[in-house]
Structure 1
Amino acid sequence: MQLASVDGLEGTTLGRLSTDLGMSKSSLQALFPSKLDLQLATIAAAYDVFASRVLSAPATTDPGLPSVYALLDAWIDYQGSFKGGCFFAAAAHEFDDHPGPVRDALRKAFQDGRQAVAEQLRLARRFGEITPDTNLDQLLFEVHGAILEANITRQFLADLEAPNRARRAIHDRLAHATNTPS
């Protein structure tokens, strides 16, 4: 996962992995008969990390806005899990125009993350914490955009304040959706 986060899934090969791990290439081929198998296994492992660090976050707090904030904060924190930043953001750029099983697996992970945020936003609305006239699709787009921008700005521009800026943008946007001062 670390290697793929930096070199991309296409750059992650059995030869490179065997060198980095100090294992024989044939030992790895027994586990991953093809590059596709290696890529899908890498995505599955990265998804497990994402699920345990991000998707499980709402379970650690009260439902409603606290769960929204917990999920979004965990997603921002997760971006530091890999040397290359958010594994799925990097891989999505790499495979956005390459149809096939790798793109399908990445797309599902991406959709699962967005769906988790959408569910928490809907729950906060049901609890009366988000105004009824708030367009939840637009709100999701904006808070997810802040998460992605934090990743890009932190990784590409080496701006270590990017996570804090994303949290502030999310806080401000949610304050607007709840009609509370930011």
Structure 2
Amino acid sequence: MIDDASARERVVRAADELFYTRGVQAVGMDAVRTAAGVSLKRIYSLFASKDELIVAVLRHRTEIWDAGLASASERATTARERILAIFDFLDAWFREPDFRGCAFINTHGELGASSSAVADAVREQKASFQAYVARLVDELPAPPELAPQLAILAEGAQTTAAIAGTPDAARQARAAAETLLDAAAR
């Protein structure tokens, strides 16, 4: 028998893949059970509700996002390079064969109006990303209003790439970010 931490990780990873591929509402707990190889009784001992599982999946996605940003900016030596690395990270992600858009935006679209816990988890991740961009903008220096503009470019690129089915939005958003950065440097 696997311990609770291992079972929890299996359930979160299985639910993440299912939710991202099929949508949160389309996936029942029986499908999660089958994919994770963990009984429903055990799943409900780890997560009191499907909403609690969804929030755990979103927290898992936050860790993946944060690690991806950190990895993309490893070689960057300036704040400008770290900002542009966000768009390089998006470009690589959009080219992955299983790219289905932003899990946070997708989940909020499905459940944001009916689940305050899900809406709060999504808002928390988006606020964290905006704070990251704001810290980078502060290092430039540049006017603080540049930070939300850059964050909106990244968010819009995710939605556009998912709907258009092409990674072009990352390159286009990067070019727009460069224009904004150049204008702020004057």
TM-score, reference length from structure 2:
0.75
Contact 1:53 1:78 in 2 (8 A): no
Q: Distance in 2 between matches of 1:164 and 1:68?
A: 13
* Runs of 5+ unmatched residues, structure 1: none
Change in CA separation of 1:161 and 1:72 when aligned onto 2, cut-off 3 Å: closer
Q: Counterpart of 1:67 in 2: which secondary structure?
A: helix
Q: Counterpart of 1:83 in 2: which secondary structure?
A: coil
Contact 2:160 2:169 in 1 (8 A): yes
1:13 correspondence with 2:17: no
1:120 correspondence with 2:136: yes
Contact 1:3 1:12 in 2 (8 A): yes
1:86 correspondence with 2:93: no
Letter in 1 for 2:41: S
Letter in 2 for 1:113: F
Partner of 1:41: 56
Residue 114 of structure 1: how far off its partner (Å): 0.6
Q: Distance in 1 between matches of 2:67 and 2:95?
A: 14
Of 54-63 and 1-10, the range deviating more from structure 2: 54-63
Of 46-55 and 95-104, the range deviating more from structure 2: 95-104
Letter in 2 for 1:85: G
TM-score, reference length from structure 1:
0.77
Change in CA separation of 1:113 and 1:77 when aligned onto 2, cut-off 3 Å: farther
1:161 correspondence with 2:165: no
Partner of 2:177: 170
Partner of 1:32: 47
Contact 2:30 2:40 in 1 (8 A): yes
Percent identity for Structure 1 against Structure 2: 20
Q: Counterpart of 2:101 in 1: which secondary structure?
A: coil
Residue 111 of structure 1: how far off its partner (Å): 0.3
Residue 121 of structure 1: how far off its partner (Å): 0.3
**Aligned positions, number:** 170
Change in CA separation of 1:55 and 1:117 when aligned onto 2, cut-off 3 Å: farther
Residue 112 of structure 1: how far off its partner (Å): 0.2
Contact 2:94 2:166 in 1 (8 A): no
Residue 12 of structure 1: how far off its partner (Å): 3.8
Residue 99 of structure 1: how far off its partner (Å): 5.2
Decide which of 84, 89, 113 is 1:97's aligned counterpart. Answer: 113
Contact 2:105 2:122 in 1 (8 A): no
